Structure formats: C-alpha cells, structure tokens
Structure 1
Amino acid sequence: MKLKQTIFIFALLGSFGFSWPFSWLFSTPNTATFGTSDWVQKEIRLLKSQAGNIDDKVLRLGLTAYLNARKHGYAGKQVLTVIDYSKPSTERRLWVFDLKKNRTLFNTWVSHGKNSGGVNATSFSNSPGSLKSSIGVFLTDQPYIGKNGYSLRLRGLERGVNDYAYSRAIVIHGAAYANADNLRYYGKIGRSWGCPAVGSSLAKPLINTIKEKSVVFAYYPDRKWLSRSPFLSA
C-alpha cells in the first residue's frame, strides 16, 4: 500500500473516532505489579501518551473503579471505557482502553440525555422517564438488535446512582446525531433519551470490543457520588 493511501486511511479512521492506528500496532508493557499504585501511575502515563485529551484525575478514578470492580468479581475482561461528562459534547469524551496491552482503542464523541443539559451536561438521574444520563460504574451486558440497531445493554453497579440503568434501557448504540458530521454542520452533538450514543459507523466495532462484562466509568464531578462511591476508594 502506498504511503499516501495509508495516511488517508489513518485519517479516515481518526475521523470516525478510532485512536491513532499506530497504537494498535505497538504497545509498551507495564512492568509494575498489576493493581498496585505503581501500576496505576505507569498505566496513566502509557495511556496518556495515546490519549492526551483525557484528564489525569478522571483516568485515575476510572482505573481505580476498574480495579475495585475486578476485586468484586465484576470485570470479566481487561477493557475499560471512560466517559467524561464534565467535558462538552463537542469534544471527544469517550475512551476505550485495552489494559492488557496498554493501548487506547477508541476516542470519540458521545451523547448525553436531552434533559441533562445542552452542549454541557449538568444534571443526572437514575429515575425512569427522566431522559437524563446516569453517572457511575457500569458493567456491559449482551449486545442486541433494537430500535436503534446494534446496541449494548448496561448494568449499573451503584445503588441509587445508576442501578436502574438496565430497566431504563440505558444502552450504548449508534446514532446519526452523534456522528462527526452533526458536529460540523450544527456545532454540537445531538442528545439522546439518556443513552451514551456514539457515531453510527463506530457503534458495532466499539460494542464488540467492550461487550460482555467490561467496565464503563461515567464521570462527572458530583461531590456526593465521588465521596460515597464504593468503587472510588483506592
């Protein structure tokens, strides 16, 4: 394949929300003992080298949540998805990390619920019918074909924070309003009924990567949740 063709393909994939493809080809091992504070620190450095737009504090909390979920027997694979709802929807605020190979697999736009806010999400809920997003730690379930096409069910692991996510049908799915074109044309990503929707072309590969017992960490600087979550204590 010629160099120009290769560069074009890499650029195209990047526009869909994939991380820079070289990160798929090369990975640096984390030589620290898995789960230790040293491992967390080195993992942050390795992942940040590929995803410089994620906040160190948010990534650290996501790794802490993953390790605690793993201790409780929830995490079935070494994959972590982080959503940072403190960022506006105009920014790529969803990341998928391969913690086994220390790679950033996806970094893309993601919607929030229409009643959570405009470009910025400021309000969250666990209540049915609220049309708001939920924060906290989730576990992915099985994918299915629904009204929004190929979708992935989420199970909220935090009582009173997101444990109604499954019954509320808060799922990851593709949506035209979450495509990059929507951002270019309208200056924003559209909003959902509470689901973290991603671009249509990205939904299937992303879902297939994180399906079946991987951790999703949805962050917002909510003081009450941050101080009480059982998953955020190191």
Structure 2
Amino acid sequence: MMEKGLLLRIAAGALLLAGCQLRANESEVPKAALATKTATTSAPDTTATQATATTPIPDSLRLTPVATVPGVPDTLRQAIRQLHAALGPTAAELRPEVLEQACVGYLTLHPTGRIERGGLLAVADMDLPNTTERFWVIDLKNAQVLHRSYVAHGEGSGHLRATRFSNEEKSACTSLGFYRTAGTYDGIHGYSRRIEGLDKGQNANAFDRYVVLHAADYVSPKYIEKYGHLGYSRGCPALPPEQFKEIIATMRVGSMMLLSGPGIKSRWLDGPAAGRRFVQRGWR
C-alpha cells in the first residue's frame, strides 16, 4: 500500500510539471514582503537574454529602457508616432518604443506569409508590472485599441515584473518574441488558443510547451487587491476571465502577437525592411 501511494504521489507531481495547461501557480506573496522587494533601485541589467539564460533584472518599479529599432526610416517612425497619438488614452502606458517593435515586426513578418491576417497586432510589454493592464490588441488600419487587459507572466519569470525569460521546457518562464496565433481548443482552462513562436532561440518551443492564450482567475483586479500582484502561469500569457473570449476571438488564426521585454532579440526587428514594406502598402 505504501508503494502504491508513493507511485500515485510521483505521478501527480509529474502532471503538475507537464506544462502550462496542467498547472498555474497562484503565489501568495504577502504585500509587506512585496513592498520591500519592489523598493529595490539597483540599475537594471540590459544584457541580452539568451535562450536558457536566467540573468535577473531587479524586480523594481523602474522600467528597463527600450532602444529604438535600428534603421527605421523617418517616414515610418513618424507614422508610428502618429498611430500612437491616434490610439488615445487607452494606449498611454504603451511605450512608443515597444509599439515601434510591434509595428516593425508586423511589417517585416506579413510579407513572408507567416502572418496571414493584415491590419491587426497584439502586443504585451512584459517589463511593466503585472498590476498594469499591459496587453493591447490594436486595429492598425483604423488606429483603434480593440482590447486592453491584464496579462500574466510565468512563475519562473519573476514576481511583480517579469525579469527572466526562457525558451526551455519546464522553465515556467515567459518567452519573448513574435508569435502567430493558431487554432482554438477546449482544454483544462476551457476555451484556449494555441500560439506559435517565430523567433528561434527565444520562443520556438512555445507550441510544444503548450504556451497558449487562456483564461485564469488569478488574472483579475480582485486578485491584485488581495495579494498585491497577479498570479503566475507556467509561461502562458493568461488573460482575465471577463475578457479572454473576446480577445481570443479577435486574434483569430494568423494574427501577430509580440511579447516584449528586456533582452528581446528578433530577426523580424528589421527597420529597413519594414520601411520598404510601409512605403509599398502602408498597414495593409
């Protein structure tokens, strides 16, 4: 009987580690401890994060500076500034440099056929605290924010802010980079959408890790009020239960999503190529 009980416990442990769809850690860090941790003011480490790296950045409220994308022509850069202004107050906390990354990636990816859906992009600034609604779905053609919401990061990536990123199995980390949305299914978290990583070395394992868009009850204002931060996934960009269905429906197959954060590197951040594409077709 003791052997049988031990085997059952081992099997249960294996299931917990099997992927984002099998476990979401709702860490309950006391607010006092969180306040002490977030008081840190060490200078951020801007060293590029490699696929297996876990170099920490101080978990403080001071954001990591975002560099502009090299080689972006003035015409495109001005168009991105105008887009940001037109998006209005809903996008006020979307840093212009992060929007620039998303727009450049969209313009570079769309002509390759990897992104079939034109005129729409989703972007999350994972450097912002998870107490901020840091996820936006944007209609480029009409310069509108279609959705803005909270989004969780992986428990391996940090507490109030995501500070570590990894592409590795069982890392429980968020993976940075560009993604293509794939099909939907009903899983352990209900209605969910698969996503495919498009950046080798940074997020290419996302599909196999079952990193997906899904709802989680730890992604809500009530959870923040109780614990001082959101809960954590196993690497999925988990969404609020009140919004996830509309967001997932909007981001239908072939849409582009960017998870931005410190150390992001991508072949799709090609400023000159994006500029040429914009001159030819605009946001189409």
TM range (shorter): 0.7 to 0.9
Partner of 1:53: 93
Are residues 1:81 and 2:122 paired?
yes
Q: How many pairs were matched up?
A: 196
Runs of 4+, deviation exceeding 6 Å = none
Contact 2:127 2:161 in 1 (8 A): yes
Relative contact order: is structure 1 or structure 2 higher (C-alpha 8 Å, sep ≥ 6)? 2
Can you give the 5+ residue segments of structure 2 that lack an aligned partner in the other structure? 1-74, 272-284
> Match for 2:80: what amino acid?
V
Partner of 1:186: 227
Distance 1:50 1:110 in 2: 16
Q: What TM-score, normalized to structure 2?
A: 0.66
Partner of 2:185: 144
Distance 2:234 2:128 in 1: 19
Distance 1:37 1:86 in 2: 22
Distance 1:181 1:98 in 2: 29
User: What is the CA distance between 1:180 and its match in structure 2?
Assistant: 1.8
Instruction: Identify the structure with the greater strand proportion.
Output: 1
> Match for 1:175: what amino acid?
A
Matches within 5 A, 1:212-231: 212-222=253-263, 225-226=264-265, 229-231=266-268
Match of 1:177 among 218, 238, 241: 218
Partner of 1:158: 199
Instruction: Report sequence identity in percent.
Output: 33
User: What is the CA distance between 1:212 and its match in structure 2?
Assistant: 0.5
Partner of 1:131: 172
Are residues 1:117 and 2:158 paired?
yes
Pairwise CA RMSD:
1.4
Deviations 1:61-87 (A, max 9, x none): 111111111121222222111011111
Contact 1:111 1:196 in 2 (8 A): yes
Distance 1:216 1:149 in 2: 21
Secondary structure of the corresponding residue to residue 85 of structure 2: helix
Distance 1:188 1:37 in 2: 34
Can you give the 5+ residue segments of structure 1 that lack an aligned partner in the other structure? 1-34
User: What is the CA distance between 1:57 and its match in structure 2?
Assistant: 0.6
Secondary structure of the corresponding residue to residue 192 of structure 2: strand
Distance 2:199 2:254 in 1: 15
Contact 1:142 1:212 in 2 (8 A): yes
Contact 2:129 2:161 in 1 (8 A): yes
Secondary structure of the corresponding residue to residue 145 of structure 1: strand
Secondary structure of the corresponding residue to residue 204 of structure 1: helix
> Match for 2:139: what amino acid?
D
Distance 2:122 2:209 in 1: 20
Partner of 1:232: 269
Match of 1:40 among 65, 73, 80: 80
User: What is the CA distance between 1:49 and its match in structure 2?
Assistant: 4.7
Q: What TM-score, normalized to structure 1?
A: 0.80
Mark the structure with the bigger radius of gyration: 2
Contact 1:50 1:103 in 2 (8 A): no
Deviations 1:122-151 (A, max 9, x none): 111111111111000000011111001111
